[in-house]
Chain A
């Protein structure tokens, strides 16, 4: 059943482009000249350049908006022109004011900053060429991964460097807290969206019409982050669909011939926000974005953050993707300017597309040797002989390469050298002493409570995990198969598949698993494990080979924190949670439950302290109907089906076969 063809279908990215370092030229020529040079990008065919103000007028006069204004006016009894005024205020607050002078300022300032922060900023130029082509043919949507505040400045910087049309970027309102910076960003092409505007019809109408107008007119490439927010864990986040729906709809309505989605993978060797994220995940409230906060970040400027790789993926044609999946003529019977909920067919198409794009982002993420080392260190928290680490890193490199990882391994360098320079760059995270490598744990001054010590250690573990997480997508499917083989009662293929499918289901909030791809993922996993000689599949069985032991045990170790983490959550819900547990209380409560377990020596897994994992686990349980949300007054309460939660816990722990569990859920 493990079919090569299926796997190779998503293999073409194995042929990846090479990179150019765009800082090289910056180091050799004047930044000022660069910032002031002639900028004349090619545009979408036939587009007449349109001033930001004209754009606003088009939006405010659109049938789409008028319809909603009248609707809101009828519902609220307010006069239409008052609502129209409101709409115009919303638009004012939202709209970008892209200005080439500001862009030039950023081009100058960022050149300086990048040169001090980074060794290289590498871009695949073939991707740039493809993008240039795409921009001329169809409206383009740029979909970069999101790991850092840097992302969108970096994107605009690169597009400016290559003389490509500057994008307009959907940004969260929280930036607007920083008055000055906010306005600067606005003038470099950012437009701002409130974080939540749930039922606000007018807001939604202004927003979606604004985006669609830019798209339809081919005004500029539209850029937003499918993941919705910066991933604090360096794991891709499951995609948010709102904006994607908006940019795809004009295609379904025939307003544009096609839309090109361009996945962009931005990989940082070291993320500026690295330890900040770990603290945030552990519940230290996120510092409100403020200008002074950003200035404090000047400290950052003195450090070496390695390289950045930006990979512009193959443009994905929405038209080709939708072929045979969405019947566009269903849009024929309804006026196009009246807002409607997307049809089911469309919704699942958009969802599917979003997942595929995020996977494409993952595929082209550049991995550094350090992510392999971090994966190994996390499985050996007590430390590792340097020589062993070196040897295992080399071994893992081979494995990663055979699974098509996009590994940036220095040419011709001895492994020991590679390992030591990685350790040097990440000296804040790991250190070598007495020939052993171990995690660095920040030592606060003065006496330390056990909780504080635990907290410090957790910061290190989570920081380190954010590197391991970068490689997860490469190993995920075979690793889930390894776990499934471990937990399944027998080696029968269908039984292993049941376990695999259960894990797939449970973890689909934590990892990027395309809806409906369970079987395909299973086959891919089988194919990969067979290919690397870890398993063999005589007839209806899946068996470990003699050589397979290290691989499978590494994979089991890789997912161990997730299995344990979810189990802790389950246990908390069954054993500890009180009747009226509210959604708000959930995270701190799980955290203190886990802290207790760790302090008592009953748990060695620190990752469960991460609010990200806690949220994902809860989302999974909700999805699996083991927990329900009930709204009581203003509070959302969690109702726990203890039987169901218990059995999920048991399966994860390998105590209960999958079949039974499925029954228990019913």
Chain B
């Protein structure tokens, strides 16, 4: 059967998951020394993120400075730090997998530049009048190179690669400001309009669309507006189950603070450790548990936005309105081009009583997709259901730690034996679906049975909770793994799309094949890793997420090659009925396809909104249009 763990075990796991999230929080010392306290700074800053982000986070890679993968002297992979489940563990199979998959070697290192070279950063070109006026408001700001560089990028491959190489920066923000509340933002925007300064909102910095990059042609002073200090829950309304929250709060803090009152939002994008509420709204983010809680557009009840024309908000918090086109939808996905999201009223839910992971192994990807389709049809998708292809299944296996109470190798081995030998599943074909159920215990178990029964009709075999959980851990650490790859000549990136059900298989196959072919044509000397998974199900289609990585030894300009291949892959996606993006957004990376995607009339509509709201292009990051 699916799981024979008793309820206390499941409880333990559920608790543990909450701890994973809570675990990221190390109380930050309040280092706001010498800053004038403003009226909106009523309570001490409880957020994880300090103004000097580089104090806890890598300046040229993903996540916390103390957490990273490395190959130790024995060639075994290790994950440093104490924050994560995998922290401090040795992953004996990873090296093998890594070397075999990429033709890479732990002896061929491509180390990153250790520290930021300040001379590679163009000097700040400040708008003195703006700075003078800003000083009178008491809002903290900085024009130190490190602060500016940190906010000049998101987490696209080319951005991180350039940081590691220590390349000269073409354009970075000239200064960074840290508003503490809505009113601070109003003041900043007013001053920016007055002095014709370009503003770029900055949330968690996890963008993967070049959305945070400064347009090189921008000649005005560029100010990065870092929302990280606007991170309070202003009130919780238990009668209506909504919370009013400042938009700079990051996912892990939001969940932790709500958990303290017994609530959660259930919005868990894979980047939730660092991405912010305002960023989610600005990019139309999607969380893995959207089947229960909805995507960001389903979660927001009210949004407050400061624009050059003033503040946009609705007059009430009615749960649905017929008042013409929903103005929230101009804001959702606006990618920082219209203004700053400062406060959001968001739905909350009581923390689920019970959580359970699960997994199903299918003989092949086709069977897995057919099963997910059926689950969607019967509208019985668990909080999360994801189908990993064979490449990712193997990748997941490579991440098994050496000894651990949770990862029982012996049983795992038995299971593998069972699957590959008895059922005749081909280990190079089989795929795994990972599941996460939530709710009250009774219902979860019932639900679980329903899903496993459907799976069985497609040849799926229940493969245990651990396999399921490991799948979600993989998503959590994947960005850290990319940094490891880059230490050894491997570049990697992910991209996503949404596509009608009947085209899922064709799209996956064609995109993978296109990538392989493009790599070959562009002189990539090693077989690339192309892998995909179906990460979300909808009534009419699914979200498909691709990983793509290759060993770049022998290439003169790996990033350029990578970009060409990704470009081709996107064309292939569009030609196969996939969308330009399901949740990452457009940014500057995919702008060129906007017309094709939403018609030139559609682009015109967006443009006229932009022209009305921000006639002087104060929010000049040039995303989308």
Binary interface profile of A, 315-336, with partner B (CB < 8 Å = 1, else 0)?
A: 0000000000001110110011
B563 within 8 A of A: no
A329 surroundings in chain B (CB, below 8 A):
574-575, 577, 596
Contact A257–B577 (Cβ < 8 Å) = no
Give the complex CA separation of A329 and B578 in angstroms.
9
Q: Which chain B residues lie closer than 8 Å to A293 at the CB level?
A: none
Question: Shortest distance in angstroms between B305's beta carbon and chain A's nearest beta carbon?
Answer: 33
Q: Contact at A254–B513, with CB atoms within 8 Å? A: no
Q: Assuming A253-B506, A254-B503, A254-B506, what are 19 further A-B pairs, CB within 8 angstroms? A: A254-B507, A254-B510, A254-B575, A254-B576, A254-B577, A255-B506, A257-B509, A257-B510, A257-B513, A257-B514, A327-B575, A328-B575, A328-B576, A329-B596, A331-B577, A332-B577, A335-B502, A336-B502, A336-B503
Least Cβ distance of B100 to chain A in Å? 21
Bitwise, B500-538 to A at CB < 8 A (1) or not (0) is: 001100110110011000000000000000000000000
**A277 CB to closest chain B CB, in angstroms?**
45
The A-contacting residues of B in range 482-506, CB under 8 angstroms, are 502-503, 506
Q: Residue-by-residue, is A213-253 near B (CB-CB < 8 Å gives 1, otherwise 0)?
A: 00000000000000000000000000000000000000001
Range class of the A interface residue count: 10 to 19
Give the shortest distance, in Å, between B283 (CB) and chain A (any CB): 24
- Specify the chain B residue showing the minimal Cβ separation from A258: B513
Q: What is the CA–CA distance of A255 and B576 in the complex, to the nearest angstrom?
A: 9
| Proximity bits, B552-589, A CB within 8 Å = 1, else 0 | 00000000000000000000001111000000000000
Contacts of B514 in A (CB 8 A): 257
Point out the residues of chain B lying under 8 angstroms from A257, CB to CB: 509-510, 513-514
Report chain B residues within 8 Å CB of A335. 502
Sorted nearest first, the 6 A-B pairs with minimum C-beta distance are A328-B575, A254-B576, A332-B577, A254-B506, A257-B513, A257-B510
Instruction: Give a binary string over B190-210; 1 marks a CB under 8 Å from any A CB, 0 the rest.
Output: 000000000000000000000
Q: How far is the CA of A332 from the CA of B576 in the complex (A)?
A: 7
Instruction: Chain B residues near A255: list those with CB within 8 A.
Output: 506
CB A29 to nearest CB in B, in angstroms, measures 40
> Which residues on the A side are within 8 Å of B513 (C-beta)?
257
User: Which chain A residues lie closer than 8 Å to B507 at the CB level?
Assistant: 254
Inter-chain contacts of A253 with B (CB < 8 A): 506
* CB under 8 Å from chain A, chain B span 253-293: none
Q: Which partner residue on chain A sits nearest B593 by CB separation? A: A329
A294 to B85, CA, bound (A): 79
A622 and B577 alpha carbons, distance in the complex (Å): 41
Residue on B nearest A336 in the bound complex, by CB: B502
What CA separation (Å) do A649 and B444 show in the bound complex? Answer: 86
Nearest chain A CB to B193 CB, angstrom units: 40
Give residues of chain B (448-498) contacting chain A, Cβ–Cβ below 8 Å: none
| Residues of the B chain whose Cβ atoms lie less than 8 Å from the Cβ of A331 | 577
Taking the closest CB of chain A, its distance from the CB of B497, in whole angstroms, is 12
Chain B residues with CB below 8 A from A336, complex form:
502-503
Cross-chain pairs A/B with CB under 8 angstroms, 6 sampled: A254-B575, A255-B506, A257-B510, A257-B513, A327-B575, A329-B574
Residue of B507, B509, B596 with most partner-chain A CB within 10 A: B509
Residue of B nearest to A330 (CB): B575
CA distance A254 to B503 in the complex (A): 8
Instruction: Tell me, in angstroms, the Cα distance from A137 to B532 when the chains sit together.
Output: 21
Instruction: Bits for A18-37, please: 1 = Cβ < 8 Å to B, else 0.
Output: 00000000000000000000
Using a CB-CB cutoff of 8 Å, which residues 291-340 of chain A contact chain B?
Answer: 327-329, 331-332, 335-336
Q: CA A143 – CA B391 in complex, angstroms?
A: 37
Nearest CB of chain A from residue B252's CB, rounded to whole Å: 38
Tell me the bound Cα distance from A327 to B575 in angstroms: 7
Q: Which chain A positions have C-beta within 8 A of B576?
A: 254, 328
Chain B residues 79-126 with CB under 8 Å of chain A are none
Contact with B along A255-281 (1 / 0, CB 8 A): 101000000000000000000000000
Q: Once the chains are docked, how many angstroms separate the CA of A328 from the CA of B596? A: 12
Residues of A within 8 A of B596 (CB): 329
Give, as a whole number of angstroms, the nearest-CB distance from B365 to chain A.
Answer: 11
Task: Give Cα A331–Cα B577 distance, bound, in whole angstroms.
Answer: 8
Complexed CA–CA distance, A335 and B576 (Å): 12
A390 to B476, CA, bound (A): 83
Nearest chain A CB to B571 CB, angstrom units: 9
Please measure, in the bound complex, the distance between the C-alpha atom of A257 and the C-alpha atom of B510, giving whole angstroms.
5
Complex Cα spacing A255 to B502, Å: 10
Nearest-CB residue, chain A, relative to B499? A332
Give CA–CA (A92, B510) in the complex, Å: 33
Cβ-closest chain A residue relative to B577: A332
Determine the distance from Cα of A321 to Cα of B577 in the docked complex, in whole angstroms.
Answer: 20
Smallest CB separation, A558 vs chain B (Å): 44
**Residues in chain A near residue B510, CB distance under 8 A:** 254, 257
Residue in A closest to B514 when the chains form the complex, CB atoms: A257
Instruction: Tell me how far the C-beta of B334 lies from the nearest C-beta in chain A, rounded to whole angstroms.
Output: 25
Q: Which residues of A lie under 8 Å from residue B577 when comparing CB positions?
A: 254, 329, 331-332
CB distance from A104 to the nearest CB of B (A): 32
| B505 → chain A closest CB, angstroms | 9
Residue of A nearest to B502 (CB): A336
Q: How far is the CA of A498 from the CA of B28 in the complex (A)?
A: 84
Minimum CB distance partner of A63 in chain B: B502
- Give the docked Cα–Cα distance between A335 and B502 (Å): 9
The residue in chain B whose Cβ has the minimal distance to the Cβ of A250 is B506
CA–CA, A255 to B574, complex, Å?
A: 14
Chain A residues whose C-beta falls within 8 Å of the C-beta of B509 in the assembled complex: 257
| Complex: A168 Cα to B276 Cα, angstroms | 59
Complex CA gap A331/B575 in Å reads 8
Q: How far does the alpha carbon of A254 sit from the alpha carbon of B507 in the complex, in Å?
A: 7
| Chain A residue, CB-CB nearest to B509 | A257
Interface flags for A371-404 (1: CB within 8 Å of B; 0: not) read 0000000000000000000000000000000000
**Shortest Cβ distance from A332 into B: residue:** B577
Alpha-carbon distance between A327 and B576 when the two chains are bound, in angstroms: 11
Residues of A within 8 A of B506 (CB): 253-255
CB distance from A447 to the nearest CB of B (A): 72
A253 to B506, CA, bound (A): 9
CB distance from A252 to the nearest CB of B (A): 9
Complex alpha-carbon distance, A251 and B296, angstroms: 36
| Min CB gap B510→A, angstroms | 5
The complex places the Cα of A615 from the Cα of B390 at a distance, in Å, of: 59
Closest CB-CB distance, B390 to chain A, in whole Å? 12
Q: B532 to nearest A CB, angstroms? A: 15
Give A329 to B514 CA distance when docked, in angstroms: 16
**CA A254 – CA B502 in complex, angstroms?**
11
Q: How far is the CB of B408 from chain A (nearest CB, A)?
A: 34
A131 to chain B, nearest CB (A): 19
Docked CA distance A332–B573 (Å): 11
CA of A180 to CA of B506 in the docked complex: distance in angstroms?
41
Cα A253 to Cα B500 with chains together (Å):
13
CB neighbours of B502 from chain A (8 A): 335-336
Cα distance, A540 to B596, chains bound together (Å): 44
Tell me how far the C-beta of A137 lies from the nearest C-beta in chain B, rounded to whole angstroms: 9
What is the minimal beta-carbon distance from B522 to any residue of chain A, in angstroms? 16
User: In the complex, A253 Cα to B510 Cα: how many Å?
Assistant: 11
Q: Which residues of B contact A254 (CB under 8 A)?
A: 503, 506-507, 510, 575-577
Most buried by B among A255, A329, A331, A336: A329
A253 to B502, CA, bound (A): 11
The complex places the Cα of A126 from the Cα of B576 at a distance, in Å, of 34
- Chain A nearest Cβ from B506, distance in angstroms: 4
Specify which of A254, A328, A332, A335 lies most central, judged by the most chain B CB atoms within 10 Å of its CB: A254
Task: Please give the distance in Å from A553's CB to the nearest CB on chain B.
Answer: 49
Cα of A331 to Cα of B506 in the assembled complex, Å? 13
A329 to B596, alpha carbons, bound, how many Å? Answer: 9
A335 to B575 CA separation, bound complex (whole angstroms): 14
Query: Whose C-beta in chain B lies nearest to the C-beta of A331?
Result: B577
What is the minimal beta-carbon distance from A332 to any residue of chain B, in angstroms?
4
Nearest CB in chain A: distance from B582 CB, A: 15
The minimal Cβ–Cβ distance linking B541 to chain A, given in whole angstroms, is: 12
CB-contacts of B240-261 with A (<8 A): none
The answer for the CA separation of A336 and B502 in the assembled complex, in Å, is 9
For the complex, what is the distance from the CA of A328 to the CA of B511, rounded to whole Å?
Answer: 14
